[in-house]
Structure 1
């Protein structure tokens, strides 16, 4: 085993969008002579969802809302203009995920170049970190290759983790696939069941249709709800939410019911017609007619008070989550997470049109009430509350994982859990000190010199898959790490 050590070393594990956002914030503020080591299993890979080359796989946020630099919200739009393949190309309102992946890689390269000019040495290594352990007042990061790196600070930003396996008894079956982003060639006429009805599942359907798949595709989940459509980015006043938050700050605690009533009051005030609140949780699976009606509403520029209020209230989600009582957090995940994702992570109109076309062609259907998926002799059976369907192929497209099983699927995180450097958060990811993003040990004490960012912070900050949210996380983590560097923090 070889060891690299230096007087002032930071090791960053992971360099996807989250790691890039962090490096861009941290590198410019580091003193000359600092060594910044970036470890990644594949440092030039676009990383998961942004590795897809399918042009119909779009970001679900507009380019104007997807800059990795909070201080420069137009950066992505400028990059798209500068990198247009033809002189007449217009900047896409919702860029392809592959384009965003290229933008991320370019911004990382720019950050490295600027760091070199400031005499900060950035060393990108194709290595898989498998262990972080205390060693003489510093941290030693060990890799699968046998190489190790001593560091004063370590930041862990692995990005999206693979969802834990919901049907372990199907693992290894030749017709069952757990990675929707890297599907092999499938029989064109195969009946396909896609587990999930949100963004990843929709992208899976689009990828299949782009290949010329002719067999029926069924998206199925417990709720059967597709995401709503993204309308204009306009906002509505949220005075009731603001009053509720001020009262909660004074009291030191927020009740979910109070926040919900305030949000409903603001939506009612912003809506021309009274909302049907029964639709939020109980309208059942998304039907062809529901999707067509919403497309027509958006195309006509119809009033969408609920979305304007969601847009206006979104900056308050992080402070609201910090004030929320623990029992109410549990209730939120059990009862309200799906409605939040359906309404708060909408899809572009172009994506919805493709979904509707698939429904109209008889290629796509959506079902709720999922209970079980099993192999029955020669075919998969998908069992819902209302029916039983057969499928030749099943694809798990339930999205990123943040539960303990997903954490333990990563050797590094499993080892850190075993060593007590990380402790699971009951609502996903690991427990952290929100002011520094340092993980908490079993006694609730921040582990000095280690930071986590991205999906690992899910339970503590709630929103981790939004570009603006992860960029804000990067600012907070970079600020804490700079303070540690200036104070000469040691782990002992």
Structure 2
């Protein structure tokens, strides 16, 4: 296999051209020298979006206000200014045709944010003349080799690229495979194919993915019954109409989970009494969340995942008001029915499925007949089960290891990947959802932009 490229300047390869990888590439291009090279390896030529920002449905809104979605930590109003400079017809497509109403509190369609990231990266490459620094490799990375000369990244086509650093930005792991009557990927184009408008459906999970899937069904004219099953039946809370700022004078400690929970509840009650609401107390935790997670012992983190995670997700990852209004209307009309429990059995009957649900507590069992089951429980996280050639190669060769809680890969506090022997690797890094085991809060834009800026600064 032939190696390509010379060794002048810094060579950095980013594996994954979704949001995390593209944002990191953008921050690297802001800092690189003329002789540096940034390789973005992505099989899909539609880089910059990732799964979240690929949706074409204008009713799939960001779950964060525009004011918190700038790509740059040092320019917090960058995204809002970009929105306000859009042509009038594009602003109308957002639902806010007037520049005056398109502000920091707006929840915009996710596809618009994908356009934003693509445009920023495109400006760096073409308008600002940094095409000589940037190389989009539309291929799959399959192996990372180490020898006396250093690192070389091998692609499926057989080429090897000498590099100084590799960053794993593979995004969320793909969902489970589909089987007859069961659809593991709610974003698949085949998920709704052949589904009659009045057909009953069972959705697994009641989080943000469930909400998007309900909207997608309704926008297709679906009127049939939608059963929504989760262990606790928790829906994401709705964002307040107007955000209220809140700062912790004495930030809590994560060393004792019970004490932390008690303290956050107390602060939420104070916020409610002060008239700013519990949401402000939860949002005020954001600057401290990664620290709190890292202060927890491994058993405490496991306890959090086992007992508190659903409650945290429901309160922390909220939905836009007009989105939740539609969901509440669907629940009120009876189209959507929330069920608390777990699947006990599922049998395929011709073109339908008979699903037996063990209801939570002492509420017995419930049988429903549905045309299909759609898994909306979110992406998987166990790296050992990820069907991706590079990750499997790195695991097999001992260059990486899963984190102890199987939330992704094990990394240190700087994002350096930890190998099978427990050593941090200075030239192999990871960023984004794959690092949740170390950072926990590392999937939203406000956290990722800080991580990308910091990693770009270290690498260059």
Relative to the length of structure 1, the TM-score reads 0.83
Match in the other structure for 1:233:
243
* Partner residue in 1 for 2:368: 389
In 1, distance between residues paired with 2:68 and 2:215?
23
Q: Which residue of 1 aligns with 2:325?
A: 353
Shift in Å, 1:191: 1.2
Q: Report the CA distance between 1:354 and its aligned residue.
A: 1.0
CA contact (8 A) 1:27 1:120 kept: no
* Residue matched to 1:54: 57
Equivalent position of 1:432 in the other structure: 411
Structure 2 CA distance for partners of 1:194 and 1:327, relative to 1, 3 Å: same
Is 1:172 the counterpart of 2:183? The answer is no
Per the TM alignment, residue 134 of structure 1 is displaced from its structure 2 partner at its CA by: 1.2
Q: Give the conservation status (yes or no) of the 8 Å contact 1:132–1:142.
A: yes
Secondary structure at 1:235's aligned position in 2? coil
State the distance in 2 between where 1:373 and 1:223 align. 19
Correspondent of 2:296 among 324, 338, 343: 324
Partner of 1:213: 222
CA contact (8 A) 1:20 1:107 kept: no
Matching of residues 217-366 of structure 1 within 5 Å:
217-231=226-240, 232-240=242-250, 242=251, 244-245=252-253, 254-272=255-273, 303=275, 305-366=277-338
Distance 2:384 2:153 in 1: 23
Question: What is the root-mean-square deviation of aligned Cα atoms in Å?
Answer: 2.1
Tell me if structure 2 keeps the 8 A contact 1:438–1:452. yes
Q: TM-score, normalised by structure 2?
A: 0.89
Q: How far apart are 1:477 and its partner, in Å? A: 1.6
Alpha-carbon separation, structure 2, partners of 1:95 and 1:345: 16
Partners in 1 of 2:122 and 2:332 — Cα distance?
44
**Superposed displacement of residue 373, structure 1:** 5.2
CA distance in 2, matches of 1:223, 1:112: 47
Q: Specify the alignment match of 2:456 in structure 1.
A: 478
The alpha-carbon deviation at position 374 of structure 1 amounts to: 1.7
The answer as to 2:424 corresponding to 1:415 is no
- Counterpart of 1:138? 150
Alpha-carbon deviation of 1:265?
A: 2.2
Paired residues of 2:31 and 2:457 also in contact (CA < 8 A): no
Name the structure 1 match of 2:113. Answer: 100
Q: Report the CA distance shift for 1:264/1:356 in structure 2 as closer, same or farther (over 3 A).
A: closer
Residue 155 of structure 1 aligns to a residue in which SS? Answer: strand
Q: Tell me the equivalent position of 2:86.
A: 83
| Match of residue 3 from structure 1 | 3
Residues 215 and 405 (structure 1), Cα distance of their counterparts in 2 relative to 1, 3 Å cut? farther
- How has the CA–CA distance of structure 1 residues 382 and 195 changed in structure 2, closer, same or farther, with 3 Å as cutoff? farther
Contact 1:64–1:77 under 8 Å retained in 2: yes
Q: For the Cα contact (< 8 Å) 2:13–2:40, is it kept in 1? A: yes
Answer yes or no: is 1:192 the counterpart of 2:201: yes
CA deviation map 1:221-243 (0-9, x unaligned): 11211100111321334335x2x
Aligned to 1:451: 429
Query: 1:212 & 1:470 partners in 2: Cα distance?
Result: 36
Question: Cα gap change, 1:238/1:26 in structure 2, threshold over 3 Å: closer, same or farther?
Answer: same
**TM superposition shift of 1:135:** 3.1
> Unaligned stretches of 5+ in structure 1?
249-253, 274-302, 483-492
Q: Which of 111, 122, 131 is the equivalent residue of 2:124?
A: 111
Q: What CA distance in whole angstroms lies between the structure 2 residues aligned with 1:309 and 1:36?
A: 40
CA distance in 1, matches of 2:32, 2:128: 8
- Is contact 1:431-1:460 (8 Å) kept? yes
Q: Deviations over 1:49-94 (max 9, x none)?
A: 2111111100111111111111112121122222244277132711
Task: State the distance in 1 between where 2:426 and 2:141 align.
Answer: 19
1:74 is matched with which residue? 77
Partner secondary structure for residue 21 of structure 2:
helix
Counterpart for residue 442 of structure 2 = 464
Match of 2:29 in 1: 27
The superposition leaves residues 420-465 of structure 1 with CA deviations (integer Å, 9 ceiling, x where unpaired) of 1111012311111112x11001221111211100011011000122
Equivalent in the alignment of 1:371: 343
